[in-house]
Amino acid sequence: MSASLPRPRGIQHIGVTVPDLDAATQFLVDGLGAKIAYDGLTLDDEPREGPEVERQLGLPPGARIRRQRMVVIGEGPGLEIFQIEGDQRPAAGLADIGLNHISFYVDDIEGMRRRLIDAGGTALSDVHGNSRFEDTPGNGSVYVRAPWGMLIELQTIPNGHYYPADSQAKVWMPDPPN
CA atoms of 150 and 16, how far apart (whole Å): 8
SS3 22: helix
CA atoms of 56 and 54, how far apart (whole Å): 6
Strand partners, 36: 71
- Domain positions in the chain: 1-87, 89-178
Q: What is the pLDDT of residues 56-85, one digit of tens each?
A: 999 999 999 999 999 999 988 999 999 999
pLDDT on residue 132: 87
DSSP sequence for 43-95: TTSPPEESHHHHHHHTPPTT-EEEEEEEEE-SSS-EEEEEEEES---PPP-TT
AA identity, residue 34: A
Percentage of residues in the chain with pLDDT exceeding 90? 72
Angle between helix axes 109-118 and 21-32 (nearest 10 degrees) is 150
Q: What is the pLDDT of residues 131-178, one digit of tens each?
A: 888 989 999 999 999 999 999 999 999 998 889 999 998 888 888 877
- Confidence category of residue 14, pLDDT binned at 50, 70, 90: very high
Which residue, among 67, 107, 89, 106, has the nearest Cα to 150 in the 3D structure? Answer: 89
CA atoms of 14 and 72, how far apart (whole Å): 11
Contact indicator for 32, 116 with CB cutoff of 8 Å: yes
- What class is the 89-178 domain? alpha beta
